[in-house]
Amino acid sequence: MKIINTVKRLRCALDEMRAAGNSIGFVPTMGALHEGHLSLVKQCAAESDVCIVSIFVNPAQFNDPKDLASYPRTVEADCAMLESAGCSIVFVPAVEEIYPAPDLREFDLGSLVEVMEGRFRPGHFQGVAKVVSRLFDIVGPCRAYFGLKDFQQLAVIRRLVDRLGMSVGIVACPIVREADGLAMSSRNMRLSAEERAAAPEIFRALRHSRELAPSSSLADVVAFVGAALASEPLLRLEYFEIVHPVTLMPLRAWSDSDEAGAVGCIAVYCGEVRLIDNITYRN
């Protein structure tokens, strides 16, 4: 496995690989890797001749400077994990490599970036779009792999690729959970022992809500999740919305959706740490 820090060297290495007829798969990350990331890397390595992983904590997508400063950085440990997961090249650029000049582009991503995460993290998805479009341009992958935990991000990236007419295939990979149901996230390592013990209530509430869903109204399901979260003093619900999986428009009743079904998206503060998760409802 090679570790490459500059765009120029990465492009040279990829040109050679492409000339030899290799297909290129790509997993963009911000590092602090866990089993969730490794599941993307393993799938990418199994489906592509060459698996490229980027580790870049993208300043453009953080609307809170404290969040950017405290984002975990564990590059050495990340590289060791990537080697055994089948990664061929890790790209670890400095900020100037990705943004040699201020990136002033604004992408037309419609209402997808105005709801949920977009409402609470203004500018976040424009920042994600900037880095992902730049990385796709540098790497030129056939396929890129993203986790379904960031459900809204996935919808935004599909829209971005569509708007820019890029030919990269976007592959959605299942959420990987701890044994107690907590969705794996790089942020989990910032939880205190008490917060870590409280955090699984998020998925417990979501799972329970899915059991209620067939016989309860959508409003009752939303109210149930709100009440379940309120019963855990270390958790503070930021939002829970049940939305259409493609448009991300909030649903008021199950009948507002179509065969695509519905997805419940949640953001919760556990102490200072902001966690997100989601669950699919079948109707």
Does the footprint of ligand PAF cover residue 55 (CB under 6 A)? no
Does the footprint of ligand PAF cover residue 41 (CB under 6 A)? no
> Which of 30, 40, 225, 251 forms a contact with ligand PAF (CB under 6 A)?
30
List C-alpha distances in Å: 75 to 64, 138, 243: 22, 21, 36
> Which of 79, 89, 131, 242 forms a contact with ligand PAF (CB under 6 A)?
131
Does the footprint of ligand PAF cover residue 33 (CB under 6 A)? no
- Closer to ligand PAF at the Cβ: 58 or 88? 58
Does the footprint of ligand PAF cover residue 29 (CB under 6 A)? yes
C-alpha 210/C-alpha 218 separation (Å) is 11
Does the footprint of ligand PAF cover residue 152 (CB under 6 A)? no
Active-site residue (options: 37, 124, 208, 244): 37
- Strands in 262-270's sheet, in edge-to-edge order, are 235-243, 262-270, 273-281
Does the footprint of ligand PAF cover residue 128 (CB under 6 A)? yes
Phi, psi dihedrals of residue 26, rounded to the nearest 5°: -140, 135
- Closer to ligand PAF at the Cβ: 68 or 234? 68
Tell me which DSSP letter residue 252 carries. S
Q: How many CB atoms lie within 10 A of CB 266?
A: 23
Radius of gyration of the chain (CA): 19
Q: Is 244 a catalytic residue?
A: no
Place of tokens 């992902």: 132
Does the footprint of ligand PAF cover residue 28 (CB under 6 A)? yes
Does the footprint of ligand PAF cover residue 109 (CB under 6 A)? no
List C-alpha distances in Å: 145 to 26, 70, 95, 184, 281: 6, 25, 22, 16, 23
Find the shortest distance in angstroms from Cβ 101 to ligand PAF.
19
Does the footprint of ligand PAF cover residue 150 (CB under 6 A)? yes
Question: By the criterion CB under 6 A, which residues form the site for ligand PAF?
Answer: 28-30, 58, 61, 128, 131-132, 150, 153
Active site residues: 37
